[in-house]
Structure 1
Amino acid sequence: MKREEALTIVKLHLTDHRYQHTLGVMESAISLAKQYGADEKKAELAAIFHDYAKFRPKDEMREIIEEQNFPQDLLQYNSELWHAPTGAFLVEKEAGITDKEILDAIRYHTSGRPAMTLLDKIIYLADYIEPGRHFPGVDEVRAMAKQNLDTALIQAVKNTILFLMKRNQPVYPASFQTYNDLIMRQED
């Protein structure tokens, strides 16, 4: 699928603000893919579609999670997590993208997962560091991303976990598992 077609499809499902975010994620993902040797076209498409389900009704996302046998514990955590796996499902169903690597990068862009692929890492990080993001720690992670993808990813996951903990919000177990996996791989 060409960039223009993908952006046209996505734009129908996003607010103007979220569409601008998506453009920033796309540019960040392409840049990271070039730097770290990933497939730039796959990074572009995964980035464009990463928030495809962001504004779907919660009831629709809940139904998809239940019907598709996604991890049911997702429903116990913040609904902000739901758009990633439901988005991957809907992108395949509605946009016809069947590439497992692209769909997985969409599926895990909020929680991460142990043994993340290069594309998973790029989409997670591009979503975190895109130029429109402004919050404590993002500039540090942007600088780290220019030097080492895994180091930047570890910091991004750590910052996200700490952000949730400071607000007394539950942390989805896959995020802790992602952090632990990245740290343990770094020590190897």
Structure 2
Amino acid sequence: MTSEIIEYRHHYIPLTRDQLVDRLQQALKEKRFHHVLRVEQTAIHLAKLNKVDVEKASIAGLCHDYAKQRPDQDFIAEIHQKGLDPDLLNYGNAIWHGIVGAELIKDELGIWDEDILNAVRHHTTGAAVMSKLEQIIYMADYIEPARDFAGVETARQLTESDLGAGVAYQTKHTLEYLIENNKPVYPKTIETYNAWVPAYEGKID
């Protein structure tokens, strides 16, 4: 996949792309930083395929893991300060870095576009209703070029031909993984499953 640098023109964020990349490089360890760069490029590709704003795809792809390596206390403080669902306190970073991370992005990076914020909020859990941008970030994180797990090629092919089928495939396999490994399932993940997987029955088996 060739790298494409998007020039930000629409004021979704009060930073240039270079400034945003610098902020991410400060916030993330090297391996995670390179992951977000790959997710950005995958998101731009999927945005073009699905006629979605590539600038939003670039910003959301870069920002999706902005808060991933923050200490737990940052998330807990934000949950209390913003009056977020107290049930979030029963989970951890895997859930927090998306749902609570979107609040930190708003506060610290000045992003107020709800489509971008929702793409960050839902990039691990999905949602019953997702915009095309949300679907793109959900999938770009899952299929970026360095991902290597059983089924990833199927996920890539499905996503390339039908974004919604990719969403259903990821959701089904994520839920299977959580159950097989006795992990807690965040309620929104079940809502995502119910909304997407039956709708693509026969296409994702």
Please, what TM-score do these two structures have when normalized by structure 1? 0.94
Give, in whole Å, the separation in 2 of the partners of 1:71 and 1:150.
28
The one-letter amino acid of 1:84's match is G
Q: Which has the higher helix share?
A: 1
Partner in structure 1 of residue 8 of structure 2: none
Give the paired residue count. 187
Moved more, 176-185 or 150-159: 176-185
Q: Is the 8 A contact 2:171 2:197 kept in 1?
A: no
Give, in whole Å, the separation in 2 of the partners of 1:116 and 1:50.
15
| Residue 68 (1) aligns with residue 72 (2) | no
Which structure is larger by alpha-carbon Rg, 1 or 2?
2
Partner in structure 2 of residue 28 of structure 1: 42
Partner in structure 2 of residue 80 of structure 1: 94
| Residue 13 (1) aligns with residue 2 (2) | no
Equivalent of residue 111 in structure 1, options 125, 128, 141: 125
Partner in structure 1 of residue 175 of structure 2: 161
Partner in structure 1 of residue 138 of structure 2: 124
Give, in whole Å, the separation in 2 of the partners of 1:26 and 1:86.
20
Gaps of at least 5 residues in structure 2 are 1-14
Give, in whole Å, the separation in 2 of the partners of 1:183 and 1:140.
15
Q: Secondary structure at the match of 1:44?
A: helix
Give, in whole Å, the separation in 1 of the partners of 2:199 and 2:129.
9
Partner in structure 2 of residue 98 of structure 1: 112
Give, in whole Å, the separation in 2 of the partners of 1:23 and 1:109.
15
Equivalent of residue 53 in structure 1, options 23, 48, 67: 67
Equivalent of residue 149 in structure 1, options 163, 186, 189: 163
Partner in structure 2 of residue 172 of structure 1: 186
Q: CA deviation at 1:4?
A: 1.3
Q: Deviations over 1:157-187 (max 9, x none)?
A: 1111111111111111101101111245558
The one-letter amino acid of 2:107's match is K
Q: CA RMSD in A?
A: 1.4
Q: Deviations over 1:117-158 (max 9, x none)?
A: 111100010000001111121111011111100101100111
Please, what TM-score do these two structures have when normalized by structure 2? 0.87
Q: Percent identity?
A: 39
- Using CA pairs under 8 Å that are at least 6 residues apart, name the structure with larger relative contact order, 1 or 2: 1
Q: Is the 8 A contact 2:169 2:197 kept in 1?
A: no
Give, in whole Å, the separation in 2 of the partners of 1:136 and 1:69.
39
Give, in whole Å, the separation in 2 of the partners of 1:46 and 1:69.
24
